[in-house]
Amino acid sequence: MKSLSVKGVLLMMLVLLLAACSQGEADGEDGGSSAVSMMHYYNKELNEPAPTAQLEKLEEFKEANGDITIEEEIQSHDNYETKIKTLAAGNELPDLFLIKGSMTKTFSENGQIIALDDFLEGREDTFVDGTLTPFQVEDSTYGIPVSGGATHLIYYNKDLFEQAGIEEFPQDWAGFMDAVDTLKEEGITPIALGNKGKWVLNSSYLSTLGSRYTGTDWFQSILNHEGAAFTDDSFVQALVAIDELAKNEAFNDNMNSIDNSEQQAMYMNKEAAMFIEGDWAAGTITNSAPEDVLAATEVAIFPELPGAAEPDTLSGGGGWAYAVNANVSDEKLADIKKLVEHLTNQEAGKLILEKGQIPAVTVPGKEEMDIPDMTKKILSVVENNQYVPIYDTMLDPALIEVMNTNLQNMTIGQVSPEEAAANIQAEYEKGSQ
């Protein structure tokens, strides 16, 4: 075999070096780490507590881990779910993304996300009871939640109530409907509703009303396909309650063409006396409402309902959670684990609470914390009532879509409560086959 010339040796070394560099670029290496793609809906401009806190923790992580590149894709809240489902259908999911409980079973059964039990090792007990439940399949956890508070709270302006002659928040449903009529007579829109994204009526209204009338055993029967039906009278009563609000013109006329941030704006501009949303809205009110509106804002839940199986309940628990693409490399997985732990630990929970939302984790020493007055009001309501399941974090996504569409159509008189229930049941039975 002929020996290589010096020139030949140098040429070979150059070829090998270029090949190594190309491989490093192909693997996404930069300083010994790989780029992690991440999709979320966090928008700093909206001043929502948990998203704002997560963005701060994300920047904190980037500064402390310069060798880890995070490539973010940010969607609007209302577009996010459609986008992530589209990516899942094309097997193009990012490395790290957010899921709702209702997505967990499908994504896990399709082999698109991995179990994250090792991400929780040693800190399972730091999560509030029930917040991990929507993200568990059999004995494994596939999502690690960020927030864990209420999806149903009534924010109301006591000054506008008093202006209309309403001295206190109603104690029962009849009184609530009387308040709606009284506010209308005063020329005040009773409830600002922004249901363009179709989720508000489900997550912030129906989950609470449904469980009040049916009881949680009924919902468990629905989940297990053990005989309960959406055409049961108890569930139809919940639809009737929403229909009654719509027929009595409790909402603004453009309720299905504005979103939840616009319903909040209506309230903050004193165009409505109430809006109904989750605890995340507290941050917007605290940070963006005029001083007089903030000072006048109180928090309540739906009052006592006639014939309710479970009074004094509100929907709540784990909301959105981080999930990990099943196709990530071991190298990326180590980086992702480090990131997720940083975003969901008790320090992250403390920051969420400080900004005004209820985190998924417990926060030691919260009694001594300087937290917003609005958050204190919410904590008082939550601690004196019981959480019930959030429908759109636990039911099948296709069923939720039919439910949401029928709720929207019901508010504009296109379907009756009974017809909506029948349509929902028909979709539910498809999933039972």
Q: State the pairing for strand pair 96-100/36-40.
A: parallel
Domains and CATH numbers, the chain: 36-149+317-364 (3.40.190.10), 153-315+389-432 (3.40.190.10)
User: Cα–Cα distance between 379 and 150 in angstroms, integer?
Assistant: 10
Give the range with max mean pLDDT: 10-19, 79-88, 389-398.
79-88
Q: Which of helix, strand or coil describes residue 88?
A: helix
Greater confidence (21 vs 232) lies with 232
Instruction: Using alpha carbons, list the distances in angstroms from residue 156 to 49, 65, 125, 172.
Output: 19, 44, 35, 16
Instruction: Using alpha carbons, list the distances in angstroms from residue 145 to 65, 116, 129, 172, 428.
Output: 22, 12, 12, 34, 27
Greater confidence (136 vs 4) lies with 136
Task: Say whether pLDDT at 21 is over 80.
Answer: no
> With bands split at pLDDT 50, 70 and 90, how would you rate the model's confidence at 433?
low
Joined tokens for residue 140: 């494994």
User: Cα–Cα distance between 78 and 200 in angstroms, integer?
Assistant: 10
Contact 420, 407 (CB under 8 A): yes
State phi, psi for 403 to the nearest 5 degrees: -60, -45
Percent of the chain exceeding pLDDT 90 equals 68
Q: What is the pLDDT of residue 18?
A: 43
What are the pLDDT digits (tens) for 124-141? Answer: 899 987 788 889 998 899
User: Cα–Cα distance between 39 and 95 in angstroms, integer?
Assistant: 8
> With bands split at pLDDT 50, 70 and 90, how would you rate the model's confidence at 432?
low
Q: What is the pLDDT of residue 31?
A: 38
User: What average pLDDT does the segment 422-433 reach?
Assistant: 89
> With bands split at pLDDT 50, 70 and 90, how would you rate the model's confidence at 423?
very high
Greater confidence (222 vs 386) lies with 222
Q: What is the pLDDT of residue 2?
A: 41
Greater confidence (241 vs 12) lies with 241
Instruction: Taking each helix axis as running N to C, give the angle between helix 49-64 and helix 346-355, from 0 to 180 degrees, rounded to the nearest 10.
Output: 140
For the chain, the average pLDDT equals 89
> With bands split at pLDDT 50, 70 and 90, how would you rate the model's confidence at 5?
low
User: Cα–Cα distance between 95 and 325 in angstroms, integer?
Assistant: 5
247-251: long-range contacts, CB 8 A cutoff, minimum separation 24: 247/413, 248/177, 248/180, 248/181, 249/184, 250/180, 250/190, 250/191, 251/189, 251/190, 251/191, 251/192, 251/193, 251/411
Q: Where are the alpha helices (DSSP H) in 65-206?
A: 77-89, 101-109, 117-120, 158-163, 173-185, 200
> With bands split at pLDDT 50, 70 and 90, how would you rate the model's confidence at 371?
confident
User: Cα–Cα distance between 188 and 182 in angstroms, integer?
Assistant: 9
User: Cα–Cα distance between 109 and 274 in angstroms, integer?
Assistant: 41
Residue 229 amino acid letter: A
Q: Where are the alpha helices (DSSP H) in 345-416?
A: 346-355, 373-383, 391-394, 397-411
Percent of the chain exceeding pLDDT 70 equals 92
Q: What is the pLDDT of residue 13?
A: 47
Task: Say whether pLDDT at 385 is over 90.
Answer: no
User: Cα–Cα distance between 38 and 322 in angstroms, integer?
Assistant: 10
Task: Say whether pLDDT at 22 is over 60.
Answer: no
In a 13 Å sphere around the CA of 12, the CA atoms on its Cβ side amount to 6
Q: What is the pLDDT of residue 318?
A: 75
Instruction: Pick the range with the lowest mean pLDDT from 16-30, 180-194, 321-335, 404-418.
Output: 16-30
Q: Is the dihedral of CA 334, 340, 341, 343 positive or negative?
A: positive
What are the pLDDT digits (tens) for 24-80? Answer: 444 444 434 579 999 999 998 887 888 999 999 999 999 999 999 999 999 998 889
